[in-house]
Amino acid sequence: MSSEQRAGAVEKQTGRLESFSDGVFAVAITLLVFNLQVPHLTGASTVEALRTALLKQWPSYLTFMTSFATILIMWASHHGIFKLVYKADTPFLFANGLLLLLVTVVPFPTSLVAQYLTTPAAKLACAVYAGVFVVINVAYNLLWWAAVRQRRLLLPAVTPRQVKRLTRHILLGLPVYGLATLLAFWNPYVSLGLCSCLWIFWAFTFYEGSRVGAV
Amino acid sequence: MSSEQRAGAVEKQTGRLESFSDGVFAVAITLLVFNLQVPHLTGASTVEALRTALLKQWPSYLTFMTSFATILIMWASHHGIFKLVYKADTPFLFANGLLLLLVTVVPFPTSLVAQYLTTPAAKLACAVYAGVFVVINVAYNLLWWAAVRQRRLLLPAVTPRQVKRLTRHILLGLPVYGLATLLAFWNPYVSLGLCSCLWIFWAFTFYEGSRVGAV
Amino acid sequence: MSSEQRAGAVEKQTGRLESFSDGVFAVAITLLVFNLQVPHLTGASTVEALRTALLKQWPSYLTFMTSFATILIMWASHHGIFKLVYKADTPFLFANGLLLLLVTVVPFPTSLVAQYLTTPAAKLACAVYAGVFVVINVAYNLLWWAAVRQRRLLLPAVTPRQVKRLTRHILLGLPVYGLATLLAFWNPYVSLGLCSCLWIFWAFTFYEGSRVGAV
Amino acid sequence: MSSEQRAGAVEKQTGRLESFSDGVFAVAITLLVFNLQVPHLTGASTVEALRTALLKQWPSYLTFMTSFATILIMWASHHGIFKLVYKADTPFLFANGLLLLLVTVVPFPTSLVAQYLTTPAAKLACAVYAGVFVVINVAYNLLWWAAVRQRRLLLPAVTPRQVKRLTRHILLGLPVYGLATLLAFWNPYVSLGLCSCLWIFWAFTFYEGSRVGAV
Each residue's pLDDT expressed in tens, for chain B with a length of 215 residues: 344 444 444 666 777 788 888 889 998 999 998 888 888 888 888 888 999 999 998 999 999 998 998 898 888 888 888 888 888 887 888 889 899 999 999 999 999 999 999 899 999 999 999 999 999 999 999 999 988 887 778 888 888 888 888 888 888 888 989 999 999 999 999 999 988 888 888 777 765 554 333 33
pTM for the predicted model, two decimal places: 0.86
Q: Are B81 and B57 in contact (CB under 8 A)?
A: no
Nearest in space to B14 (alpha carbons), one of B210, B214, B153, B143: B153
What integer pLDDT is reported at residue B73 of this predicted model? 86
Note the pLDDT tens digit of each residue in C121-161.
999 999 999 999 999 999 999 999 888 887 778 888 888 88
Q: Are B98 and B142 in contact (CB under 8 A)?
A: yes
Q: Are C159 and C126 in contact (CB under 8 A)?
A: no
* Beta strands, E only, chain B: none
Taking the C-alpha atoms of residue A181 and residue A189, their distance in angstroms, rounded to an integer, is 11
Radius of gyration of chain B measured on its C-alpha atoms:
20
**Hey, are the CB atoms on C101 and D22 less than 8 Å from each other?**
no
Query: CA C6, C12, C14: angle at the middle one, nearest 5?
Result: 135
Q: Are D112 and B60 in contact (CB under 8 A)?
A: no
User: Other C-beta atoms within 10 Å of D79: how many?
Assistant: 18
Read out DSSP for D93-158? HHHHHHHHHHHHHTHHHHHHHHHHTTSTTHHHHHHHHHHHHHHHHHHHHHHHHHHHGGGSSB-TT-
CA of residue A45 relative to chain centroid, distance: 38
ipTM for the assembly: 0.82
Interface test with A, best of C34, C38, C55 (most A CBs within 10 A): C38
Chain D residues with CB-CB distance to B72 below 8 A? 97, 100-101
Taking the C-alpha atoms of residue C88 and residue D49, their distance in angstroms, rounded to an integer, is 44
What integer pLDDT is reported at residue A212 of this predicted model? 37
Chain C residues with CB-CB distance to D4 below 8 A? 15-16
CA of residue B88 relative to chain centroid, distance: 21
Taking the C-alpha atoms of residue B99 and residue B82, their distance in angstroms, rounded to an integer, is 13
Q: What percent of chain C has pLDDT over 90?
A: 30
pLDDT surpassing 80 at residue C11: no
What integer pLDDT is reported at residue A10 of this predicted model? 60
- Chain D: give the shortest CA distance to residue B99, in Å: 17
Phi-psi region of C140 (alpha: psi -120 to 50; beta: other; left: phi over 0): alpha
**Hey, are the CB atoms on A79 and B28 less than 8 Å from each other?**
no
A2, A47, A69 member nearest B120 (Cβ): A47
What integer pLDDT is reported at residue D10 of this predicted model? 59
C2, C36, C50 member nearest A125 (Cβ): C50
Nearest in space to C131 (alpha carbons), one of C105, C151, C152, C156: C105
**Hey, are the CB atoms on D15 and B36 less than 8 Å from each other?**
no
Taking the C-alpha atoms of residue C93 and residue C99, their distance in angstroms, rounded to an integer, is 10
- Looking at chain B, which residue has its C-alpha nearest residue A213? B89
Taking the C-alpha atoms of residue B208 and residue B169, their distance in angstroms, rounded to an integer, is 12
Interface test with D, best of B5, B17, B21, B22 (most D CBs within 10 A): B22
- Chain C: give the shortest CA distance to residue D202, in Å: 12
Q: Which residues contact D104 (CB under 8 A, 6 or more apart)?
A: B29, B30, B32, B33, B68, D24, D27, D28
Chain C residues with CB-CB distance to A19 below 8 A? 19, 22
Q: Are D36 and C128 in contact (CB under 8 A)?
A: no
Interface test with A, best of B2, B103, B104 (most A CBs within 10 A): B104
Q: How many pairs of residues across C and D have Cβ atoms under 8 Å apart?
A: 101
**Hey, are the CB atoms on D50 and C116 less than 8 Å from each other?**
yes
Query: CA B54, B57, B63: angle at the middle one, nearest 5?
Result: 135
SS3 content of chain C, % helix, strand, coil (to 5): 75, 0, 20
Burial class (CB in 10 A: 0-12, 13-18, 19+), B9: exposed
Q: Are C194 and C179 in contact (CB under 8 A)?
A: yes
Q: How many pairs of residues across B and D have Cβ atoms under 8 Å apart?
A: 103
Instruction: Output DSSP code: residue B118.
Output: T
